[in-house]
Structure 1
């Protein structure tokens, strides 16, 4: 089941004694745990009715013992155990030895007063394991959203903060801040304080307020070049140079992005969806969407030539055969042409 379906069932009062939460999208996972806590434990009892463990340091047996111990004063208790690596194919690096079969015993006779949540920050579980098969119905994945879902999430978060985005500004926010929900939430909070209740955040405000990393600035620079927005592209370049970013580093980041564009273009030819490409390349689906749009401006042969030109430029920079800044400027001008 997905986290939305699980949340609906919890909202109806249909609780499972055990949940297995896995995936890389930790912000959504924390939101789910917060929702579960609010539904299960009254605020005045949370200090002693919510237990948290790290399975890298604590044995599963200790966690299960806590889950079998009746709560103090509260009607229900919530037991959360992180780093449940034994559900995956990865080797456990902690010194603690776990006995997953003990969990199978607990599931046969679970406590009626406790909810146990096991989490692991892994994209996949090892479905060959008996314990994974046993928890299949209560395993909840927390994976990156696709591009459309991410955009809608940003818009909903703004609505919760009582403001809205002008046309294109929500997309611009994602392009500037990246696809990490934690970062996006912080930037949305900043925008809400700036525009105030019922305010509208437009592209100018996003450009003024949103913090961009070097990687995101390079991402935007390439997008501007592809879309022939040369003035803004060079402004970004000069801003990066003023921040003492090394031109060689910028060339490497630009080359990385063009390799991604080429890979996305080739994989899309094979009929893979953006979600499948993202999984194969280890990227966020939104980054794949933008790379696919950028790739529409180039033939595969052109992209291969660009990557080779960047490799040549990198060599010339490092060997002193070209002025670093001038070489980068000339490359961008040729690219735009």
Structure 2
């Protein structure tokens, strides 16, 4: 079952006795957990019916005992369990003994007055474990992974619409390029933009540029984009702005090298017919970053990328040994690259 189907089922009153939420997209995972709370408990019931545990300091069998215990003054209780590493392949770092068989036994006949929600902030579960297989069969297993590039832009537009404001063409992409791909950050920036525009207001690309300050990484991302499109003046403008922000030239050079390395890797894997999602998973990147790197990669030949990385390696050595002034070295690199 996917998140959309699970959401629909909950709205229809079909509540699973056990949920296992996992993935790296914490914002959406927390959104679904909050949605479960809203749909299953009234505001008045939550003091008695909403229970939180963390398996780093509570044994799993104690959570099961809580689930088996009849709720007090409420018809149903919701038990949120964090740090559920018993479902992953990684070694449990806590010194507690978690008796997984207690949960397996509970799954045979779960209490109809309890809803267990396990939250795992990991990309993968250990599919070999019996408890994971059991939840797949008798509970609900939901994956929360980073949105694809197109889905991310749709999500941004949807969030703006929910806040009763409209994004002009190109504004959603500019928001992502400036703020990055973390949903928590994007949500906060959309709140700010819609507050500025007012109810029913329209947010333009210029407004986004004015109100959302780019991080160092996002500035380097834009700098490489300008280089790829031969916009030397803009690339140098970003570089000088980074210097004004007291960023170390060696760090800037390292981030530029990282971006060109990503471009080369994406270009290579794309040439081997890997999909955007496969490349993102293999390189540990967000699908949107893979999309942009792919677009940037089309502006360069593979041999050019190797030459650029070689020059950056030489520049790094020269800057660290004092063979060249750091600012001058980066200026010359950018000018030669554009030429």
Task: Give the match's secondary structure for 2:80.
Answer: strand
Counterpart for residue 115 of structure 1? 115
Cα deviation for residue 91 of structure 1 reads 0.2
Counterpart for residue 17 of structure 2? 17
Whole-angstrom CA distance in 2 between matches of 1:330 and 1:48: 66
Q: How many residues align?
A: 337
Counterpart for residue 55 of structure 1? 55
Counterpart for residue 199 of structure 2? 197
Cα deviation for residue 230 of structure 1 reads 2.6
Whole-angstrom CA distance in 2 between matches of 1:151 and 1:194: 20
Q: Point out where structure 2 has 5 or more consecutive residues left out of the alignment.
A: none
Cα deviation for residue 166 of structure 1 reads 1.1
Which stretch shows the higher mean deviation, 198-207 or 272-281? 198-207
Whole-angstrom CA distance in 1 between matches of 2:336 and 2:178: 25
Counterpart for residue 132 of structure 1? 132
Counterpart for residue 46 of structure 1? 46
Counterpart for residue 284 of structure 1? 286
Whole-angstrom CA distance in 1 between matches of 2:34 and 2:121: 17
Which stretch shows the higher mean deviation, 230-239 or 108-117? 230-239
The CA deviation string for residues 219-247 of structure 1, in whole angstroms up to 9 with x for no partner, is 11111221223332222111110111000
Counterpart for residue 26 of structure 1? 26
Whole-angstrom CA distance in 2 between matches of 1:229 and 1:27: 36
Task: Give the match's secondary structure for 1:43.
Answer: coil
Whole-angstrom CA distance in 1 between matches of 2:249 and 2:48: 54
Task: Give the match's secondary structure for 2:324.
Answer: coil
Which stretch shows the higher mean deviation, 137-146 or 230-239? 230-239
The CA deviation string for residues 48-84 of structure 1, in whole angstroms up to 9 with x for no partner, is 2101111011011111111111222221110011111
Cα deviation for residue 165 of structure 1 reads 1.1
Whole-angstrom CA distance in 2 between matches of 1:44 and 1:231: 60
Task: Give the match's secondary structure for 1:189.
Answer: helix
Whole-angstrom CA distance in 2 between matches of 1:201 and 1:298: 34
Whole-angstrom CA distance in 2 between matches of 1:231 and 1:114: 62
Cα deviation for residue 98 of structure 1 reads 0.5
Whole-angstrom CA distance in 2 between matches of 1:230 and 1:187: 29
Counterpart for residue 94 of structure 1? 94
In the TM superposition, 1:259-270 aligns within 5 A as 259-270=261-272
Whole-angstrom CA distance in 1 between matches of 2:274 and 2:135: 30
Match of 1:250 among 252, 272, 286: 252
The yes-or-no answer on 1:334 pairing with 2:336 is yes
Counterpart for residue 141 of structure 1? 143
8 Å Cα contact 1:41-1:74 kept in structure 2: no
Counterpart for residue 70 of structure 1? 70
The CA deviation string for residues 231-269 of structure 1, in whole angstroms up to 9 with x for no partner, is 322221111101110000000000000000000000011
Whole-angstrom CA distance in 2 between matches of 1:119 and 1:308: 44
Counterpart for residue 165 of structure 2? 163
Counterpart for residue 79 of structure 2? 79
Match of 1:207 among 187, 190, 209: 209
Counterpart for residue 293 of structure 1? 295
Which stretch shows the higher mean deviation, 129-138 or 179-188? 129-138
Task: Give the match's secondary structure for 1:292.
Answer: helix
Task: Give the match's secondary structure for 2:116.
Answer: strand
Which stretch shows the higher mean deviation, 193-202 or 177-186? 193-202
CA RMSD of aligned residues (A): 0.9
TM-score, normalisation: structure 2: 0.98
Which stretch shows the higher mean deviation, 150-159 or 164-173? 164-173
Whole-angstrom CA distance in 1 between matches of 2:42 and 2:277: 39
